[in-house]
């Protein structure tokens, strides 16, 4: 552009210079003079034309520049949008594999235990989330348990001569553990619905391998209620200063599957494609602090009827109201970790439910029909992170799990056979923050004096990451 202008200036200068020189001859020859003028005029006209052309070219170029700029803008914007969309998408995963070695008894009369070692790809969990807008989001959690799918054959040592039975619900399985849509206009208030986690039991809150110290999740909770409990329903939640609250209305349990050894846990309706929701339940929780990130204390409460969700509705004409209360605390400060939970539950008309389960054709509760009218369990785990003093990313811990799903029965005396205590010590070693390797050894005691104590040992590896 600048070159063109310089050229033009030079040409104009030369033309003017020429005209000055020719003035000398003008007086002598008018014709020549006129010709020269005409020529100059013609040249000027040409130059003007060239100038116009140049100006229009310049304008065109400016327009083009503008267009390019807009296009660049668009591309930049789109890239940003795409980046934004991907940043609204989240993927997390965690999982664990364990090796356990414990002693078992052949049948209820057997008092000499045999040792059995087992390995299990406990679970691989994948979580997908998407933030639609600032307020709306969703999350789906898919869990692969025991490394596969399908029905499994189980050995029931309590049965007559030991019975092999195929269990549709046990063994490897793929479960949608959570599938929820969330609307959260503010920190203080949010709504979630779909298949949601109940806030009862710390395992529902702390279920990643690095969030608990024992090799397997706490046995005490599993012996009493569904762990990592999910139901279909709707819940509100939020936080105000350091208080976290949750309140939910969800599908209830089915008392047909309540069993002596795990109280209401197997009443979790996973056996069928559709969940009976004639009886709804309420779950609420209030925490001060945050269990996931550190210290907290909290209470939780569950209330629901369980008779209406029975398949065989004419077997029971009384309510089976179920209440579970929980008190939990965590102190996580510097190298110290201390967590504990106490659960207590009551079940109305436990005897009537027992009798109904025993006499429903084809239900087969076997020898495990009798239900506790009260149930309790607790755990306390304490750990110290050694990296505070040594250059080693390791935590040593001690743990006690206690459960008694048959704490009291409506009539008669409850047997202590189901009153279990597991005491253990162990380590958590994290070579990198995403991986934890665990070892644990301990003592399992049954409250019945004639059943000898047994020792158990377990190894585990867990991982977790977020993209």
Partner 1 sequence: MRVKHTAITLALITTLSACGGSGSDDTSTETPVVPTTGFSFVATEMIINLTDDVIVAGYADLAAQGDTLLLATQTLLTSTSQADLVAAQNAWKSARQPWEQGESHIFGPVDSLSIDPHLDSWPLNTTDLQTQLDSNSGFDAETIKAWNDDVQGFHTMEYLLFGDGVNSNTKLIADLSTKEREYLIALAEVFRDYTAQLDDAWQVSHNPQDKNAKPYAELLKTPGDATNTIYSSQLAVIEELINGMIGIVDEVGNGKIADPFGESLTTADTSKVESQYSWNSLTDFSNNIIGVRNVYQGEFTGGADKQGLIDFVTAADTTLATRVASEIDDAILKIQAISGSTSMPFRQAILDDDGRARTQVAVDALTKLQATLQSDVLPLLSDWNS
CA distance 133 to 333: 36
Burial class (CB in 10 A: 0-12, 13-18, 19+), 30: exposed
For Cα atoms 177, 191, 131, give the angle at the middle one, nearest 5 degrees.
70
Q: How far is the CB of 372 from partner 1 (least distance, A)?
A: 12
> Per CB under 8 A, which region of 36-44, 188-196, 293-301, 446-454 contacts partner 1?
446-454
CA distance 248 to 223: 23
H or E element in which residue 53 lies: helix 30-87
Contact call for residue 274 and partner 1 (CB under 8 A): no
Binder among 86, 104, 243, 336 for partner 1 (CB under 8 A): 86
Closest CA to 250 of 291, 193, 315: 193
Binder among 28, 30, 241, 450 for partner 1 (CB under 8 A): 450
Nearest-10 Cα torsion for 429, 435, 439, 95: 160
Binder among 99, 128, 456, 463 for partner 1 (CB under 8 A): 128
Q: How far is the CB of 403 from partner 1 (least distance, A)?
A: 18
Q: Give alpha helix (H) positions in 171-214.
A: 202-205
Contact call for residue 318 and partner 1 (CB under 8 A): no
Contact call for residue 368 and partner 1 (CB under 8 A): yes
52: its two tokens: 């116009």
Q: How far is the CB of 174 from partner 1 (least distance, A)?
A: 7
Burial class (CB in 10 A: 0-12, 13-18, 19+), 321: middle
CA distance 381 to 338: 6
Residue 81 makes CB contacts below 8 A (sequence gap 6+) with: none
Binder among 7, 108, 153, 318 for partner 1 (CB under 8 A): 108
By beta-carbon proximity to partner 1, the closer residue of 97 and 355 is: 355
Contact call for residue 416 and partner 1 (CB under 8 A): yes
CA distance 98 to 117: 11
Q: How far is the CB of 414 from partner 1 (least distance, A)?
A: 8
Contact call for residue 150 and partner 1 (CB under 8 A): no
Contact call for residue 313 and partner 1 (CB under 8 A): no
Q: Do 276 and 269 touch, CB atoms closer than 8 A?
A: yes
Contact call for residue 151 and partner 1 (CB under 8 A): no
Binder among 364, 431, 433, 453 for partner 1 (CB under 8 A): 364
**x/- letters, 391..410, toward partner 1 (CB under 8 A):** ------------------xx
Binder among 25, 59, 116, 358 for partner 1 (CB under 8 A): 358
Q: Which residues bind partner 1 (CB under 8 A)?
A: 86, 89, 91, 106-110, 126, 128, 142, 160-162, 174, 176, 260, 314-315, 351, 354-355, 358-370, 409-413, 415-417, 448, 450-451, 467
């Amino acid at each position: 552009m600048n070159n063109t202008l310089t050229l033009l200036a030079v040409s104009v200068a030369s033309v003017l210079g020429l005209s000055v020189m020719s003035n000398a001859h003008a007086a002598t020859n008018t014709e020549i003079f006129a010709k020269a003028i005409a020529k100059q005029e013609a040249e000027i006209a040409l130059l003007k034309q060239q100038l116009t052309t140049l100006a229009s070219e310049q304008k065109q170029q400016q327009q083009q520049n503008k267009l390019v700029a807009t296009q660049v803008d668009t591309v930049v914007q789109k890239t940003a949008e795409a980046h934004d969309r991907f940043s609204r998408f989240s993927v997390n995963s965690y999982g664990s594999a364990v090796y356990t070695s414990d002693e078992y008894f052949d049948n209820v009369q057997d008092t000499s235990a045999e040792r059995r070692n087992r390995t299990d790809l406990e679970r691989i969990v994948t979580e997908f989330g998407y933030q639609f807008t600032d307020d709306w989001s969703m999350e789906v959690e898919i869990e692969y348990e025991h490394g596969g799918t399908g029905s499994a054959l189980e050995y029931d040592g309590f049965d007559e001569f030991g019975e092999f039975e195929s269990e549709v619900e046990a063994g490897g399985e793929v479960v949608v553990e959570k599938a929820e849509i969330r609307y959260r206009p503010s920190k203080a208030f949010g709504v979630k619905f779909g298949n949601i986690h109940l806030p009862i039991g710390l395992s529902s809150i702390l279920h990643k391998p690095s969030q608990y110290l024992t090799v397997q999740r706490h046995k005490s909770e599993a012996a009493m209620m569904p762990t990592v409990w999910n139901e279909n329903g709707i819940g509100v939640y939020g936080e105000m200063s350091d208080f976290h609250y949750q309140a939910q209305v969800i599908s209830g349990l089915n008392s047909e599957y309540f069993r002596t050894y795990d109280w209401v846990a197997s009443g979790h309706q996973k056996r069928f494609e559709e969940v009976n929701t004639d009886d709804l339940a309420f779950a609420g929780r209030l925490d001060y602090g945050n269990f996931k990130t550190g210290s907290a204390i909290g209470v939780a409460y569950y209330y629901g009827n369980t008779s209406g969700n029975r398949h065989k509705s004419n077997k029971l004409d009384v309510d089976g109201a179920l209440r579970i209360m929980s008190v939990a605390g965590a102190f996580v400060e510097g190298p110290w970790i201390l967590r504990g939970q106490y659960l207590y539950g009551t079940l109305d008309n436990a005897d009537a439910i027992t009798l109904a389960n025993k006499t429903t054709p084809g239900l087969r509760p076997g020898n495990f029909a009798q239900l506790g009218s009260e149930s309790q369990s607790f755990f306390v785990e304490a750990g110290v992170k050694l990296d505070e003093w040594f250059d080693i990313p390791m935590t040593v811990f001690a743990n006690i799990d206690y459960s008694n799903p048959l704490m009291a029965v409506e009539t008669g005396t409850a047997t202590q056979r189901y009153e279990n205590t597991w005491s253990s010590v162990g380590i958590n070693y994290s070579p990198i923050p995403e991986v934890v390797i665990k070892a644990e050894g301990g003592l399992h005691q049954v409250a019945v004096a004639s059943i000898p104590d047994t020792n158990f040992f377990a190894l585990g590896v867990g991982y977790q990451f977020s993209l």
